[in-house]
Amino acid sequence: MAMALILFIILSILVNPSSAKTNYNVLSFGARGNGVTDSTQAFINAWAAACASTEPTTIYVPKGRYLLGPVAFKGGCKSSDITLRIDGTLVAPVDFRVLGQAENWVSFDQVTGVSIIGGSLDAKGSALWVCKAQAGTNCHNRATDVLVEGIKVIASGNSPNTDGIHVQQSTNVKIINSSIKTGDDCISIGPATNNLWIEGVTCGPGHGISIGSLGKDMEEEGVQNVTVKNTVFKGTQNGLRIKSWAKPSNGFVKGVQFIDIVMQNVQNHIIIDQNYCPHNLNCPGQVSGVKINNVLYQNIRGTSATPVAIKFECSTKYPCKGIKLQNVNLTYLKKVAQSSCANVIGTTMGLVKPDNCL
């Protein structure tokens, strides 16, 4: 089913957009803001011009609706200060066949010193990825020092594979003051993510904020130093989730903090699932090799849509260690919810409800 995905995004990487000097208007490269004319090549040409410049530059998209096919903005630029200023709306083709074999509609590949400011992206139900650093089936790139601010994602709660933001193979990323309504993870966090800060995000509907799934491959870089703070979940399938495949892996998760979280009618508030094995293929009878250490859940409150609000199902070979619960108050039907623990070692501080099973 074609679902409109509209994204209002402010994304900055390394640079203050006010420093940009040379202006490249996409209209000068043949773009048309009528929502009908294919403006893909015009955007690619404008990017190439900005990328080749040695001066700070701005690519300007005036008001209007600009039809774009799949487009990848490649890095390796001479300029380390490129601003993409969008006052209009980027629109994906209604016909999915136009996207062909492209894994992403709009992507940014190995970029440094780039800011994307304002505007709207109407993906027409396509899987939209504004890529910081994804790998595998999405896109192969890395990024550092990224700020994502004031983003608004809207998609139907039953729209498949519509993750709001995916972060992977990235360092020093901040996602703040944003609202994400989607059919999959509001924010998903993949391997090789280091120093991720998420604050002031409202999530729902959707599948919550997920670290993982991790450990699909034996050789995999870990996730470390992740903070989620002042975040609200509304009617989501999950709240705070860490998920790994039930397969051998040298991956890891460490140094994670979930602080000051409010949950409203969430099905699975706090969950670690290391038995992920979709369709029971390629992993039955195996155990996760992902090592999970030092995870803090602090000042978390709200209501549960299911009796079990806390569920830790860790690896039998590598139990979760250093799990800390501090000032947690989760209820189910105005009663104390339940918790379930397996292969986890941790401590509690302050009031913790449901009664902790650590």
pLDDT in tens, 201-231: 999 898 999 999 999 999 999 999 999 999 9
Task: Please calculate the CA angle 105-111-114 and round it to the nearest 5 degrees.
Answer: 95
Same domain as 76, residue 189: no
| 207 counts as catalytic | yes
Same domain as 291, residue 173: yes
Range from 122-126, 240-244, 271-275, 280-284 carrying the lowest mean pLDDT:
122-126
250 in any annotated domain: yes
Q: Mean of the per-residue pLDDT values for the chain? A: 83
pLDDT exceeds 60 at position 2: no
Work out how many domains the chain is built from and give that number: 2
More confident residue, 249 or 7: 249
Amino acid (one-letter) located at 223 = V
Amino acid (one-letter) located at 66 = Y
Task: Give the per-residue pLDDT at 214.
Answer: 96
Task: Give the per-residue pLDDT at 102.
Answer: 64
Task: Please calculate the CA angle 37-41-44 and round it to the nearest 5 degrees.
Answer: 135
pLDDT exceeds 50 at position 9: no
Label residue 339 by pLDDT band (50, 70, 90).
very high
Task: Give the per-residue pLDDT at 10.
Answer: 33
pLDDT exceeds 80 at position 109: no
Task: Please calculate the CA angle 223-103-86 and round it to the nearest 5 degrees.
Answer: 90
Task: Give the per-residue pLDDT at 183.
Answer: 80
Q: Specify the CATH number for the domain of residue 30.
A: 2.160.20.10
Is residue 212 within 8 A of residue 241, CB to CB? The reply is yes
**What are 74's two structure tokens?**
């490649």
Same domain as 208, residue 333: yes
Q: Which of 70-79, 329-338, 345-354 has the highest mean pLDDT?
A: 345-354
135 in any annotated domain: no
Same domain as 270, residue 180: yes
Long-range contacts of 339-342 (CB under 8 A, 24+ apart): 339/308, 339/309, 339/310, 339/311, 340/308, 340/310, 340/311, 340/312, 340/313, 341/310, 341/311, 341/312, 342/312, 342/313, 342/314
For 28, the domain range is: 21-129
pLDDT in tens, 249-264: 999 999 999 999 999 9
* Domain-ending residue, one of 71, 96, 129: 129
Range from 17-31, 123-137, 202-216, 339-353 carrying the lowest mean pLDDT:
123-137
Q: For every residue of 247-268, which 3-state class applies, written as one string?
A: CCCCCEEEEEEEEEEEEEEECE
* Domain-ending residue, one of 129, 161, 177: 129
Residues 328-343 have a mean pLDDT of: 90
Same domain as 163, residue 54: no
Label residue 136 by pLDDT band (50, 70, 90).
very low
pLDDT exceeds 90 at position 265: yes
Same domain as 309, residue 281: yes
313 in any annotated domain: yes
Same domain as 243, residue 115: no
pLDDT exceeds 50 at position 293: yes
Task: Give the per-residue pLDDT at 233.
Answer: 97
Label residue 124 by pLDDT band (50, 70, 90).
low
Same domain as 109, residue 148: no
**What are 310's two structure tokens?**
């806390």
Same domain as 333, residue 209: yes
* CA–CA distance, 58 with 115 (Å, rounded to integer): 9
More confident residue, 230 or 179: 230
273 in any annotated domain: yes
Of 140, 166, 207, 279, which residue is the catalytic one?
207
15 in any annotated domain: no
How much is the pTM? 0.79
* CA–CA distance, 123 with 164 (Å, rounded to integer): 12
* Domain-ending residue, one of 68, 96, 129: 129
138 in any annotated domain: no
Same domain as 303, residue 350: yes
Task: Give the per-residue pLDDT at 172.
Answer: 80
Same domain as 302, residue 170: yes
More confident residue, 181 or 30: 30
4 in any annotated domain: no
pLDDT exceeds 80 at position 296: yes
Same domain as 102, residue 218: no
Task: Give the per-residue pLDDT at 160.
Answer: 61
348 in any annotated domain: yes
